[in-house]
Structure 1
Amino acid sequence: MNLIAYYRVSTDKQGRSGLGLAAQESAVQQHATSGGHRIVAQFVEVESGKRADRPQLAAALAACRLHRATLCIAKLDRLARNLAFVANLMESGTDFVAVDNPTANRLTIHLLAAIAEHEREMISQRTKAALAAAKARGVRLGNPNGAAALMPGHREAAVKGGAVARERADQRAAQILPILQQLELEVGGSAVELAKALNFRGVPAPAGGVWYPEQVRRVWRRAKNWSFDGP
């Protein structure tokens, strides 16, 4: 069958680093390979599971209808820890499969979604209770000194590590710039379109995952020595 892959990470930091994203991609790819399925498109969302307003998920569902494909996710809780949202999605008529439970029927998926939603609520309650208890004991939450609390040796190491990271990022930007310039002629200067074109051609992003529009803009800024805003 044709599959539309949908990946979600909860924070922008996870999206930039690829944390959690690579594991989702690997699980979906393995499912497709083992079942003889074909992934015709993939969509990545950086959004909290609490929110139901997700443009990339909407685009993925539209692609499912266009290709008569099945929405494929790595884990059910990557779709949403919200029972009502999953129920509405199922009622929309779009088929979807969770790799961690590919044989689940509609009843099973409802139960799993209910458990996931309950888990999210319990985690939130436990976190709030622990913070309140610590505050009641007089514990000062957070680091009042911020970065100043770092030991001198740690600060030096952080500075050196940042310089190495910037150098690597500059080298990567210089490598990708010719590809971006060619794609700009083909699809235009929109960062959104350029990100889609890079993903379509299988060009790996700096973190090894997929491209986002903001990543494209950062590459433009680095490659142009920060004197050009990019598309």
Structure 2
Amino acid sequence: MGRAALAEQKTAISYLRVSTARQGASGLGLEAQREAVSSFASSRSFSVLTEYVEVESGKNAARPQLAAALAHARKVKAVLLIAKLDRLARSVAVLSALMESGTDFIAVDLPEANRFMLHIMGAVAEYEREQISTRTKAALAAAKARGVKLGSNSQVLAQSRIRDAVKFAQAVEKSEGDIFRNRSLTVRQIADALNARGVATREGGLWSAGNTGRLLARLRLRDPS
């Protein structure tokens, strides 16, 4: 394989997605995605030409920025890099359309995944989205049947969840303060340090760049991610 072909293979376009205009304006979620793509690109010697940012629900198949990113990638024969598969879509239709586009893409959280695995992961993400929607509708219907004013109740529930998340973030910071005081650490390095110490997330899982970025945002230590 010639040098020109090898160089083409190492060229990449980055695609990031957030779900709401508020997230897009604040940068919420973008910084962690950007760092994940950057770290992967550096480790695999990819040169990222540019990034495309989409502000759109995961269930929506209309993705103008994704279409633009794909067109750019095809034009320059680049690979499309995505931070996480669920940032691409929570819809099998969107994922299938991308896989049939003829453009190579890599979800950096699953870089070795083959087409079959990607289809399965996309189906699981879509199923989870549908289940969340179903549970939310059922909870709202039950609350309405009890005479609860849904608008105010939803706000109360949202505020309660935020308070709980902030309290948890503060507890982690208090117990692992040296990690958070080291401002030279990246979000990914903080996540790795917490995992190495056996500190679990609020859901009892492992830390990633995404949930660590959200924890940092709650602590207001750096720009929301």
Is the pair's TM-score, using the shorter chain for normalization, greater than 0.5?
yes
How many residue pairs end up in the alignment? 148
Unpaired runs of 5+ residues, structure 1, are 147-206, 210-231
Task: Give, in whole Å, the separation in 2 of the partners of 1:77 and 1:83.
Answer: 11
Work out which structure has the larger RCO, using CA pairs closer than 8 Å and 6 or more positions apart in sequence: 2
Query: Larger deviation: 10-19 or 129-138?
Result: 129-138
State, as a whole percentage, how many aligned pairs show the same letter: 60
Deviation at 1:208, TM superposition (A): 6.7
Name the aligned partner's letter for residue 29 of structure 2. Answer: G
The residue number in structure 1 matching 2:94 is 85
Of the three residues 24, 39, 57, the one matched with 2:48 is 39
**Are residues 1:113 and 2:122 paired?**
yes
1:127 aligns with 2:130: no
Amino acid at match of 2:137: K
* Distance in 2 separating the partners of 1:74 and 1:34: 14
Deviations 1:63-88 (A, max 9, x none): 11111111111111111111122112
Q: Distance in 1 between matches of 2:121 and 2:14?
A: 20
Out of 14, 26, 29, the position equivalent to 1:5 is 14
CA–CA distance in 2 between the matches of 1:4 and 1:105?
20
Q: Pick the aligned partner of 1:52 from 49, 61, 86.
A: 61
Q: TM-score scaled to structure 1, two decimals?
A: 0.61
- Once the two structures are superposed, residues 173-219 of structure 1 have per-residue CA deviations (whole angstroms, 9 ceiling, x without a partner) of xxxxxxxxxxxxxxxxxxxxxxxxxxxxxxxxxx979xxxxxxxxxx
SS at 2:151's partner residue? coil
> RMSD in angstroms over aligned alpha carbons?
1.8
Contact persistence 2:61–2:93 (CA under 8 A)? no
- Structure 1 counterpart of 2:151, from 142, 153, 162: 142
Which aligned runs of 4 or more in structure 1 are off by greater than 4 angstroms?
none
